[in-house]
Amino acid sequence: EIVMTQSPATLSVSPGERAALSCRASQNVRSNLAWYQQKPGQAPRLLIYGASTRATGVPARFIGSGSGTDFILTINSLQSEDFAVYYCHQYTSGKTFGQGTKVEIK
């Protein structure tokens, strides 16, 4: 099974600042990597697929990058609605998720 490791577990950021979330795969997943945002009591929301393609309706401040084993989700100029938990997900071999990064208000 491909293990996905996200860091940090918690990221404290002030509104308007930039956040960079890391996701590392234990094997090469090529560009088969997605990012989701989840708020309390809600289902996850797809943000990025194919490592860097924004899903429909996702603001341009969300930027996905990377390929192979190392990926980054950058959120520029954090808005109040961006404080949430973010998960990465590989779909190259089986389906596995990272453990999540919580982005909280500093």
Partner 1 sequence: EVQLMESGGGLVQPGGSLRLSCAASGFTFSSSWMTWIRQAPGQGLEWVANVKQDGSVKYYRDSVRGRFIISRDNVENSVYLQMNSLRAEDTGVYFCVRDDASGYYEYWGQGTLVTVSS
HEC letters along the chain: CCCEEEECCEEEECCCCCEEEEEEECCCCCCCEEEEEECCCCCCEEEEECCCEECCCCCCCEEEEEECCEEEEEECCCCHHHCCEEEEEECCCCCEECCCEEEEEC
For position 97 contacting partner 1 by CB under 8 A, the verdict is: yes
For position 64 contacting partner 1 by CB under 8 A, the verdict is: no
Give the footprint of partner 1 on residues 29-48 (CB under 8 A). Answer: 32, 34, 36, 42-46
For position 68 contacting partner 1 by CB under 8 A, the verdict is: no
The residues of the shown chain that bind partner 1, judged by CB under 8 A, are: 32, 34, 36, 42-46, 49-50, 55, 87, 89, 91-92, 94-100
